[in-house]
Amino acid sequence: FFQKTLTAIKNWFTLFGWSKGQNPVSIPYSLRRDVCKDQMTSSQEKGFKKTLGKDTKTVYDMLFHLSGQLLPGISLSQSLPLDPIERMLQLHSQHSTFLSFLVSQGACLSHVMPEFLLEPDDYKNWIKVRTVQKVGWRVDKHLFILENSAFETMSKRAWTDVLLQIYKVFVLQRVSSHNITDLFSLENVQNMPRIKSEPLSSNIYSTYERTILTWLNKHYESNRNTVWKDCQKGGVPPMRWIVNFDRDLLDGLVLAAQLAAYCPYLIATHFVRMYTNPRTPAQFLHNCLILVNAMHAVSLATGIKV
């Protein structure tokens, strides 16, 4: 699951994360490497810069393209100090600013530490510096010391979570909410409980995620009688209130109802064969296989396997 998520987010940011066309993204390698367009590279000549090229795109270019904002104190063209310790400290400071900015925009990144976004050599220098520093008379107890392989795993996960949160706060928010109040206007959904859209009504889901839940509820309730009226494996499924993205979607019925709303011709060929009251793992798998096959039939699920 994590690998599929990684592939999906890498493909999206490669295609749409940059101005002036595509830019290949490798997580975490290119994101860690291309943090500055000018880098100090000569130990003999102080101040010598190696220019990576005007076409080199950094994570700050990505952020500016998607949000239209620059990080406080960080320009799109940065230089790094020659000294490896000073270099690491500047990068750590920039990553701290980067994460703080995203959190201020609504990102959930309290589990990501700035050092997880560093290159492996910079992370080792960070550990060396922190292990000799004291907090009062005590060693920093909040320091995570990771071996090479563990650090690479942590760094990949941290950068993936950063990109997912960037997508959430700067892309998903573009979903228009002007029609939210009309989603339950149909007569057969008048008695459904509402998903509140107020920003503070949930400490789990954002306003936009609750918009999606509203959309799922609307189409499931509107279409369940139509999609499964001729179903021989349980009849029409009962009304349900969809309030999460895992358990309520587990049997495939809710997603099938969404797809049927836009591709009703899939009802007779695929969805009538689903179990509408699945109880065993085999029946859940049966439903999900039908759903994936339906998505393949409309070229909606390239690369998805069950």
- Tens of pLDDT, residues 11-43: 899 988 888 888 888 998 888 887 765 554 444
Number of domains in the chain: 2
In eight-state DSSP terms, residue 122 is H
Least confident range from 96-110, 126-140, 143-157, 247-261: namely 126-140
Q: What is the pLDDT of residues 103-142, one digit of tens each?
A: 998 898 988 999 999 999 999 998 888 887 654 444 555 6
In a domain, 151, yes or no: yes
- Give the pLDDT confidence score for residue 100 in this predicted structure: 92
On whether the CB atoms of residues 280 and 251 are closer than 8 A, the answer is no
Q: What is the pLDDT of residues 282-296, one digit of tens each?
A: 999 999 999 999 998
CA distances from 152 to 6, 36, 111, 114, 133 (A): 14, 21, 16, 14, 24
> Which of the listed residues 128, 155, 174 is the one where a domain comes to its end?
174
Q: Which residue has the higher pLDDT, 98 or 209?
A: 98
> Which of the listed residues 174, 205, 237 is the one where a domain comes to its end?
174
Domain that holds residue 195: 177-298
Strand ranges (DSSP E) for the chain? 38-40, 49-51, 79-80
Mean pLDDT of the region 58-80: 82
3-state secondary structure of 138: strand
Q: Within this chain, do residues 152 and 216 fall inside the same structural domain, yes or no?
A: no
Q: Which residue has the higher pLDDT, 217 or 136?
A: 217
Euclidean distance between the first and the last CA atom of the chain, given in angstroms as a whole number:
11
In a domain, 43, yes or no: no
**Cβ of 254: how many Cβ atoms within 10 Å?**
20
Which residues, other chains included, contact 202 with Cβ-Cβ below 8 Å and sequence gap of 6+?
196, 210
Residues in the chain: 306
Mean pLDDT score of the chain, rounded to an integer? 80
